[in-house]
Amino acid sequence: MTDHPTEAPRPATEPEHSPPKPPPLRRGRSYFVHYGEVGLKKGNRPYFETRLVRNLHYTLRGLRVMGIHRIYGRLRIDQELDGDRGELLRRLSRVHGVSHVLPIERFGWDLGPIEARLAEWAGEGGFESFAIRCRRIQKSYPHRSQDLMVRLGAIVGERSGARVDLRAPEVEFSVLILNREVILSRERISGPGGLPTGTAGRVLHMLSGGIDSPVAAERLLRRGCHLQFVHFHSSPFTDRSSIEKTTELANILTRHRMRSKLHLVPLGLLQQRIVQDAPARWRVMLYRRSMLRIAARIAGWNQCKALGSGENLAQVASQTLENLAVLDETVALPLLRPLLSYDKEEIVEEARRIGTYEVSTEPHADCCGYLLPRRPVTDGTVEEVREIEAALDLSEELEEVHSRTEVVTLPDLDREPPGEE
């Protein structure tokens, strides 16, 4: 009988199988896109993921993106080396549904290159505290997460001189173990969160040239609404400054996002009729009820399911609780008011963050300020306003307004929106 050679025992630290090679990748950069609320959708999650991927493809056009892949509850974006990294990160930071973005580097399972890269990062310094976060999605990896954090943390601490702070570190190094590769990252870019644009249906949003309505639009976009915009102006009785401002604001809200429309509605003739034949204190409420009727008709033509506005409870005379109830009665469509309970400081802060504040504070002629009464009604009733409207009969003026409405396609690629602060 022939003896079989005895196999030498394996070291305890050697993995059961040879470490897999990382998947081949053309020379380029990669990024992980994390989504918070989308990941909580359970059975509907594939729908939201698919919409987010579609929006990302649209947003990142022209930036030499090689592909977008689903990877363990996150998305990986691969970009060619000659693509604009800064512009890609800037656009990703504004995509609704994106919680945060990690520029990443990809390695095989061998710890040597990983330790060398972390040592290189640590040697650059510039931070006094750090944390190492390790997660093993592939459990067959031969090193435990806790052991890796201790081992790699010692390298970073020695090279940088920084201390470990797991609660509020200045720099956080992330190590993710997948089934074929190890992912390293040290930079985190925040996104707006929320839901991908288009997942909550179409809304026609009433956009003025002021501070509030663009912020309300951003809030609706964050909840997944695909917005079209309507702007009411008093031209030719006032100048076109509000039209120019609103077009600029609409371009800021839609840049690098899904295309939309801006409906420009001339309200001047209808306002003249109201000023001539209606009680002065009811002018603003009659303006706004007429605007809602016009908006509802435009919404119907464009398959919008609701109307949006920047109204804020008790901020001005027309926005008392009683007057809002009178406005709600005007149309059957839902009226979405995302800023209803915000205070002005919160709205201004948000306007600065999204880049609309500087444009909104430029002077313009507001259509609701045109021929504004000294003492507008603050406690109107539905019965009173219906009686006034029946005597006025504005049907002819409403038809004239519809026939003169202009439509602008957004984003207007010939216009360059101002940069954010």
Give the Cα separation of 106 and 25 in Å (integer): 9
Q: In the prediction, which pLDDT does 180 show?
A: 83
Q: What is the pLDDT of residues 122-175, one digit of tens each?
A: 999 899 999 999 999 988 888 899 999 999 999 999 999 999 999 999 999 999
Residues 251 and 380 in one domain: yes
Residues 135 and 283 in one domain: no
Q: Answer with the one of 127, 160, 190 that is the final residue of a domain.
A: 190
Query: Does 371 have pLDDT greater than 90?
Result: no
Residues 368 and 280 in one domain: yes
Residues 403 and 274 in one domain: yes
Inside any domain, residue 12 = no
Residues 227 and 169 in one domain: no
Q: Mean pLDDT across the stretch 17-36? A: 72
Q: Mean pLDDT across the stretch 75-82? A: 94
Q: Mean pLDDT across the stretch 252-266? A: 87
Inside any domain, residue 88 = yes
Residue 5's pLDDT band, with cuts at 50, 70 and 90, is very low
Give the Cα separation of 134 and 183 in Å (integer): 10
Structure tokens at 343: 């205070």
Q: Answer with the one of 165, 190, 215 that is the final residue of a domain.
A: 190
Query: Does 25 have pLDDT greater than 60?
Result: no
**173 within 8 A of 120, measured Cβ to Cβ:** no
φ, ψ dihedrals at 99, nearest 5°: -80, -50
Residue-number span of the structural domain to which 361 is assigned:
202-410
Question: For position 33, which CATH number holds?
Answer: 3.30.2130.30
Residue 7's pLDDT band, with cuts at 50, 70 and 90, is very low
Q: What is the pLDDT of residues 267-293, one digit of tens each?
A: 988 988 998 898 888 888 999 999 999
Residues 267 and 395 in one domain: yes
**309 within 8 A of 337, measured Cβ to Cβ:** yes
Q: Answer with the one of 158, 190, 222 that is the final residue of a domain.
A: 190
Q: Total structural domains in the chain? A: 2
Residues 182 and 256 in one domain: no
Give the Cα separation of 82 and 64 in Å (integer): 8
Residues 163 and 232 in one domain: no
- Three-state DSSP at 324 gives helix
Inside any domain, residue 208 = yes
Q: Mean pLDDT across the stretch 223-248? A: 88
Inside any domain, residue 229 = yes
Inside any domain, residue 2 = no
Question: For position 235, which CATH number holds?
Answer: 3.40.50.620
Residues 164 and 236 in one domain: no
Residues 256 and 373 in one domain: yes
Inside any domain, residue 417 = no
Q: In the prediction, which pLDDT does 6 show?
A: 40
Q: What is the pLDDT of residues 296-349, one digit of tens each?
A: 999 999 999 999 999 998 777 778 898 899 999 999 999 999 999 999 999 999
Query: Does 221 have pLDDT greater than 80?
Result: yes
Residues 157 and 211 in one domain: no
CA-nearest of 73, 82, 81 to 30 is 81
Inside any domain, residue 17 = no
Residues 215 and 156 in one domain: no
Q: In the prediction, which pLDDT does 12 show?
A: 41
**Residues of the chain above pLDDT 90, percent:** 61
Inside any domain, residue 249 = yes
HSE at residue 251, side-chain half, CA atoms within 13 A, is 17
Residue 40's pLDDT band, with cuts at 50, 70 and 90, is confident
